[in-house]
């Protein structure tokens, strides 16, 4: 008996026959696709679905963190009787026990203008004139600094570092001035870094937020994702409704105090669920306000299995 190939969730049905679209845009019957290619397609879509959820959650995390930092900045400004304003400098916030730290770092985005060509011309004239007498170390630094990458860009930091060198030549100040004039600040980038440590005398360790630095530790698996919290909150709310619907089950003839006691005992088991549901609802509502995103619970990535 031939085993029937499961129909992929992203398949297109034509006359009850499932098709998948290939990289060229053509529809291919699922039955004509190699099983290994189907398994690869399923795995890629599953991982990509989780990645999109995680990317969206990171975006919400950044938005919430920005809002929390701005709110604290506003309270600090109000405490000292000044108007709150956007802060562009670096700041550090530390927990009361000194074990957690949030650091906000701002770095300028710098490009070099056309004056860079004049600076390069000054260097070329110095090197040609000195010939074999040029400092080999300086020559290496210059070649490295002005080396163009695949995108046609030079190393800005390496070029700016040349200004700190001491060169015995009357034209060197002209080179440094041309570099200074070439600097253009075209924007800034803000970085939020979170650190933790076990003791106040221990070194800070950054909480990794990039895939290359994340380690799958047991503690990571103990934490529930926001989507899982929403799903469990739904279950808890259904349990709460079930408890409230049991009001009619109070035995007839019970005293008022007995009925109240029965209700208190019945609801006591779901008080924690209420708190959990309220917290998740508040976070989802904040997501919609800050980013205009749909509620997390409504997000249904294709072919993503249970966590």
Q: What is the pLDDT of residues 138-187, one digit of tens each?
A: 777 777 777 766 666 778 888 888 888 877 778 888 888 888 888 888 88
Q: Which of 46-50, 104-108, 180-184, 260-264 has the lowest mean pLDDT?
A: 260-264
Same domain for 207 and 92, yes or no, is yes
Which residues are paired to 262 by β-bridges? none
Which of 49, 40, 14 is CA-nearest to residue 29?
14
Q: Is residue 258 part of a domain?
A: yes
Alpha-carbon span 85 to 81, nearest angstrom: 12
Please name the helix (run of DSSP H) or strand (run of DSSP E) that holds residue 67, with its range, or none.
Answer: helix 35-79
Same domain for 200 and 118, yes or no, is yes
Same domain for 206 and 245, yes or no, is no
Q: Is residue 251 part of a domain?
A: yes
- Cβ neighbourhood burial of 193 (10 Å; 0-12, 13-18, 19+): middle
Same domain for 147 and 167, yes or no, is yes
Same domain for 107 and 170, yes or no, is yes
Q: Is residue 231 part of a domain?
A: yes
At residue 168, what are phi and psi to the nearest 5 degrees? Answer: -80, 80
Same domain for 171 and 259, yes or no, is no
Same domain for 140 and 231, yes or no, is no
How much of the chain, in percent, has pLDDT values that exceed 90? 12
**3-state SS string for 113-161:** CCHHHHHHHHHHHHHHHHHHHCCHHHHHHHHHHCCCCCCCCCCHHHHHH
Alpha-carbon span 284 to 54, nearest angstrom: 15
Q: Other C-beta atoms within 10 Å of 19: how many?
A: 19
Q: Which of 90-99, 105-114, 197-206 has the lowest mean pLDDT?
A: 105-114
Same domain for 194 and 224, yes or no, is no
Q: Please say if the pLDDT value at position 293 is more than 70.
A: no
pLDDT at res. 63: 85
Same domain for 200 and 250, yes or no, is no
Edge-to-edge strand order for the sheet containing 183-196?
Answer: 91-94, 100-112, 183-196, 205-206
Alpha-carbon span 210 to 245, nearest angstrom: 47
Same domain for 288 and 228, yes or no, is yes
pLDDT at res. 270: 55
- Of 182, 213, 244, the last residue of a domain is 213
Q: Count how many domains the chain has.
A: 2
Q: Please say if the pLDDT value at position 204 is more than 90.
A: yes
Q: Please say if the pLDDT value at position 254 is more than 60.
A: no
pLDDT at res. 155: 81
Tens-digit pLDDT profile for residues 213-253: 666 666 666 666 666 677 777 777 777 677 666 656 655 55
Q: Is residue 73 part of a domain?
A: no
pTM of the model: 0.58
Q: Is residue 188 part of a domain?
A: yes
Alpha-carbon span 106 to 72, nearest angstrom: 18
Alpha carbons within 13 angstroms on the beta-carbon side of residue 186 total 8
Q: Is residue 21 part of a domain?
A: no
pLDDT at res. 222: 64
Say which residue, 200 or 129, is predicted with more confidence: 200
Q: Is residue 284 part of a domain?
A: yes
- Of 213, 240, 268, the last residue of a domain is 213
Alpha-carbon span 246 to 160, nearest angstrom: 74
- Of 196, 213, 230, the last residue of a domain is 213
Alpha-carbon span 151 to 212, nearest angstrom: 24
- Domain residues for the domain of 176 are 88-213
Same domain for 178 and 138, yes or no, is yes
Whose structure tokens read 């034209």? 171
Same domain for 112 and 204, yes or no, is yes
């Amino acid at each position: 008996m031939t085993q029937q190939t499961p129909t992929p969730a992203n398949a297109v049905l034509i006359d009850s026959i499932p098709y998948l679209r290939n990289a060229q845009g053509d529809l291919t019957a699922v039955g004509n696709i190699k099983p290994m290619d189907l398994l690869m397609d399923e795995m890629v879509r599953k991982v990509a679905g989780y990645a999109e959820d995680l990317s969206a959650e990171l975006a919400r995390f950044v938005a919430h963190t920005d809002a929390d930092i701005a709110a604290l900045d506003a309270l600090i400004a109000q405490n000292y009787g000044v108007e709150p304003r956007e802060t562009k400098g670096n700041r550090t916030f530390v927990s009361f026990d000194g074990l957690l730290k949030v650091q906000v770092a701002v770095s300028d985005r710098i490009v070099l203008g056309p004056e860079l060509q004049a600076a390069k011309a000054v260097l070329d004239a110095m090197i040609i004139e000195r010939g074999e007498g040029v400092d080999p170390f300086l020559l290496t630094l210059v070649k490295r600094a002005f080396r163009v990458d695949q995108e046609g860009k030079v190393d800005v930091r390496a070029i700016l570092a040349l200004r700190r060198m001491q060169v015995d030549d009357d034209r060197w100040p002209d080179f440094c001035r041309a570099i200074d004039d070439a600097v253009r600040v075209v924007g800034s980038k803000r970085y939020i870094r979170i650190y933790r440590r076990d003791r106040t005398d221990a070194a800070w360790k950054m909480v990794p937020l990039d895939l290359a630095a994340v380690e799958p530790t047991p503690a990571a698996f103990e934490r529930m994702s926001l989507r899982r919290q929403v799903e469990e909150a739904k279950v808890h709310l259904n349990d709460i409704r079930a408890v409230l619907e049991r009001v009619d089950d109070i035995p007839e003839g019970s005293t008022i105090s007995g009925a109240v006691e029965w209700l208190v005992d019945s609801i006591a088991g779901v008080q924690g669920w209420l708190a959990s549901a309220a917290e998740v609802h508040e976070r989802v509502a904040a997501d919609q306000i800050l980013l205009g995103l749909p509620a997390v619970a409504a997000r249904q990535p294709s072919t993503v299995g249970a966590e």
